[in-house]
Amino acid sequence: MESYPLGLQAESSNALALKRTALISKSCFLSWACFESAQLCVLNKLRTSLGKAPDTFTAFETALKILAKDYPDHLNLAECVETVTRGRVLLEFMEWLEKVSIKTLEIFIFNMVPSKKSFFLMLISCIRS
């Protein structure tokens, strides 16, 4: 389990414990997978197999709408659990994507020339609100 170099990875002593926990717990593994996927998306500047950044976000939005809209009442328990799990994983991925994007933006702003920081600091405050 390798982390990508955004400055967000756990300390090396904690990385092994996280790896063991992720391999034991399905919930922890899905969370870790969402984090790694979000980090990879940001590293690739949101250029995915779905397209460029706008196409990627449109695909995520479409998938969420489909999961929310197409929830038939006649699902059996297994299908219901699968649908809820898919929705939960997609939402968790979106949360991680937001966190990683903001953290990356903060790192970028920290390394900027001071005269150009004000716009990006305002952008971060707008994103957080």
Closest CA to 30 of 93, 101, 113, 82: 93
The total of other beta-carbon atoms located within 10 Å of residue 81's CB is 11
pLDDT confidence of residue 73: 66
Give the domain ranges of the chain.
Answer: 12-128
The total of other beta-carbon atoms located within 10 Å of residue 42's CB is 21
pLDDT confidence of residue 31: 84
Q: What is the pTM of this model?
A: 0.66
Closest CA to 103 of 3, 7, 2: 7
How far is Cα 56 from Cα 60, in angstroms, rounded to an integer?
6
pLDDT confidence of residue 6: 46
Strand partners, 41: none
In a structure prediction context, what are the per-residue pLDDT tens digits for the chain, which is 129 residues long? Answer: 444 444 444 445 666 776 677 777 777 788 888 888 888 888 888 788 888 888 888 888 888 888 777 666 666 777 777 777 888 888 899 899 888 888 888 887 777 776 666 766 666 676 676
